[in-house]
Chain A
Amino acid sequence: MKQTENKIKNAFTAITPDILETVVSDSVSGKGTAMLVKQKRRLPIAIVAAAAAFVMLFGVFAGVLAYMGNNAVASVVSIDVNPSIEIKLNRKDVVVDIKALNEDGQKIIGNMDLTGTKIEVALNALIGSMITGGYIDELANSVLVSVDNGNADKNAALREKLNAIISGLITTENAEGAVIALQIDKNDTDSAYLADKLGISLGKAQLILSLCANNAKYDPESLAKLGINELSLLLQEIGAELKGEFVGSASDKAYIGVEKSKAAALEYAKVTEDMVYGSIKVEFEHDDGMMIYEVEFVVEGVRYEIEVNAVNGNIISCEKKNRDVLIGGAVGEYVSAKEVEDIISAYCPERQEWNGLNISSNTMTACSYAKPRFLIRVSNTNSRLTQRRAKFSPWNRTDIIIMKIIQAVIPKKTDLLQKNKHLKRCSTVRDLRKMIFPV
């Protein structure tokens, strides 16, 4: 206990300022100073003057050194929400310079003078101002912070520090908020070019390029129009790799959500969910400056690809693809050749060309339904009894027509065939036809 007490005593002694001079001069209004002066041994005036001059010179020198040290930029941090702000820090993380990178950034900084403050204080003021200005709220609560410091360790440490400060500032009772902390890569000339061309921060350019690398549909220019919250949501959706960290979760409260988008799409297609074959696929995407849900499902052999506006649920586009034929509900041990023919004639657009196809039930079988690999033996009608074998993978979109036919004609309970090494891949109807009718 004594040791702690001593520490406290020493610490408080050390922080007590020395104001005796003021106290004395104020208490006697000049008179008392003379009394004190009498007790002091006077030094020759020349020495005093020399000492004073030396102290002043040293002071100026030290001051200049300190000024240079304090104003040397050690790290450049940029903050993006939609307002973009660049902050230059010295090695003690004190703000040396601050500037807005866009108009919103200018509004945020206003006439605040944050130079000379610690980064914590500056961030507090800036993020606070963004919250007050409505740039950060429960609908959009993501912040991108990018750090440019050549030293990887210091960069990581600063990112961690900034991440923690910003997360603390934007987290509310109801929403966590998301912070993306990026390490600026000076050698990344693509990002630099993009940032320069589109007038965005280097960090945002780097983030956009990471997203584009993961989704060929995206183009950097349209992504640049999005705010950080949207970019964070896309990042969450596709999980692109980053040079940095992504913590928290971006708010999707501004959007209608997966369930509502499904409902809107089904309503537009005038179908119900129980009519859908298989499952409904929903992807949160960006298209032409707009956030959308792309809803995909198949009903009665028709594949729907419907784009739903993620904000208001309006239908943006609907594509129907009739060629994706579906034949559901095959039952029985084997279906007859007649049934297969009927199915093919009914669902294949090129059915005219299939005339003469003869499929006999005993030539059809499957090797495994569970691991969807099918073997089909067919023979054509010109009685040469040519037999061909074909193997299909149902998971390949391009063979969907063929697969669905086969799913229909081959029941689940079939004998397993031994693996056949002569199986040949056949992925389209055209391939299948070639198999069946070799020229």
Chain B
Amino acid sequence: MILSSLSTARKIVHTDNGELAELISSVAAGDIQSLGELYKLTSVSIYSFALSILKNSHDAEDVMHDVYLTVSASAVSYEDKGKPLAWMLTITKNHCLMKLRNRAKNADYCPENWEDTLAKATGLSVEDTVVVRTCMEKLSDEELRIVTLHAVSGFKHREIAELLSLPLPTVLSKYSRAIRKLRKILADGGTE
């Protein structure tokens, strides 16, 4: 309850790199308030990216938790190259890959049923539910990553290409195809 005022005011992220870099250096100095600020500005990006790789809400939540712990522990070693969010997303990607490796070892993993998850989630509008479910079920893994990075985290296509190690034209074409697909499905009320 103590932290509720901090957490409820979660903002839709905007990547003001300067602000993020400053926050990271404050976190490095042990300022917990800054970690809270950093969380508010980046949690949606981190979570969405993790979700786009893992396609499982529980795993994505675990990864997000680990990412912030890693960030606060390794903020000291962060060198500002003007891309603080990209740095955090790289950490996210690494945690996700670790998670995927564990999943491969654990044979009884079964894919998440998004219909159930979204039915249980609270505070979602009907449209949110339809959008998330459509993204999760109708987009390919790569399309989903590209779409979330661009639409949610505000990454430029060039930055996405770099982060995901993909050629720029691939990113561009996949992005436009995915958005076209989504727009069509959403226009039909979430059904194909």
Question: Which A residues fall within an 8 A CB radius of B?
Answer: 1, 4-24, 26-28, 31-33, 35-37, 39-40, 52, 92, 118, 120-121
Identify the closest chain A residue to B70 (Cβ). A27
Interface string of B70-84 (1 = CB under 8 A from A): 001100000000000
A-B contact pairs, 14 of them (CB 8 A): A4-B182, A5-B151, A10-B12, A11-B131, A12-B44, A12-B47, A12-B151, A13-B10, A15-B121, A15-B132, A23-B68, A27-B32, A31-B32, A35-B32
Q: How far is the CA of A299 from the CA of B66 in the complex (A)?
A: 87
Q: Is B25 an interface residue (CB 8 A)?
A: no
Are B35 and A27 closer than 8 Å at their CB atoms? yes
Q: Is B161 an interface residue (CB 8 A)?
A: no
Verify if B89 is at the interface (C-beta below 8 Å from A).
Answer: no
Q: Are A118 and B116 in contact (CB under 8 A)?
A: yes
Question: Quick check: A14 and B6 within 8 Å, CB to CB?
Answer: no
The answer to whether A24 and B152 have CB atoms under 8 Å apart is no
Inside 8 A of B3's CB, which chain A residues have their CB? Answer: 20-21, 24, 36
| Chain B interface main SS type | helix
Could you say which residues of chain A place their CB within 8 Å of the CB of B40?
20
* A4 and B132 contacting across the interface, CB-CB below 8 Å: no
Other A-B pairs beyond A20-B3, A33-B2, A35-B32, 11, CB < 8 Å = A12-B132, A14-B123, A14-B124, A14-B125, A15-B121, A17-B47, A20-B6, A26-B65, A28-B72, A40-B5, A118-B119
B183 contacts A20, C-beta separation under 8 Å: no
Q: Does B140 contact A (CB under 8 A)?
A: no
Residues of A within 8 A of B182 (CB): 4, 8
Contacts of B186 in A (CB 8 A): 4, 7
Chain A residues lying within 8 Å of B113, measured Cβ to Cβ, are 121
Task: Give chain B residues whose Cβ lies under 8 Å from the Cβ of A24.
Answer: 3, 32, 35-36, 39
Cβ–Cβ < 8 Å partners of A92 in chain B: 119
Are the C-beta atoms of B12 and A9 separated by less than 8 Å?
yes
Q: Once bound together, how far apart are the Cα atoms of A347 and B1, in whole Å?
A: 104
Specify which chain A residues have a CB less than 8 angstroms from the CB of B147 in the assembled complex: 8
Contact with A along B21-61 (1 / 0, CB 8 A): 00000000011110110011001100110010000010001
Flag if B2 contacts A20 (CB, 8 Å): no
The interface residues of chain A, by DSSP majority, are classed as helix
Given contacts A11-B131, A20-B43, contact A36 B2 (CB under 8 A): yes
Q: B20 in the interface, Cβ–Cβ < 8 Å?
A: no
Best-surrounded residue of A16, A22, A36, A40 (most CB of chain B within 10 A): A16
Query: Closest chain B residue to A14 by CB distance?
Result: B128
A32 touching B131 by the CB < 8 A rule? no
User: Does B115 reach chain A (CB closer than 8 Å)?
Assistant: yes
Please name the 7 residue pairs, one residue from A and one from B, whose CB atoms are nearest each other, closest first: A32-B32, A11-B131, A5-B151, A11-B128, A8-B151, A16-B47, A27-B72
Instruction: Report how far A91 CA is from B104 CA in the complex, Å.
Output: 38
Verify A15–B57 contact, CB threshold 8 A: yes
Report Cα–Cα, A399/B18, bound state, in Å: 104
Our pick among B5, B116, B148 for the contact of A12 (Cβ within 8 Å) is: B148
A20 near B132 with CB under 8 A, answer no
B169 → A minimal CB distance (Å): 18
A19–B58 alpha-carbon span in the complex (Å): 12
CB-defined contacts of B179 to chain A, threshold 8 Å: 1, 4-5
Identity of the chain B residue whose Cβ is nearest the Cβ of A92 in the assembled complex: B119
Judging by beta carbons under 8 Å apart, are A27 and B7 in contact?
Answer: no
0/1 per residue, B110-153, Cβ < 8 Å to A?
Answer: 00010110110101110111011001000000000001101110
Q: B100 near A: Cβ within 8 Å?
A: no
Asked if B91 CB lies within 8 Å of chain A CBs, one says no
Max chain A CB contacts within 10 Å: which of B7, B40, B124, B148?
B7
In the complex, the chain A residue whose C-beta lies closest to that of B72 is A27
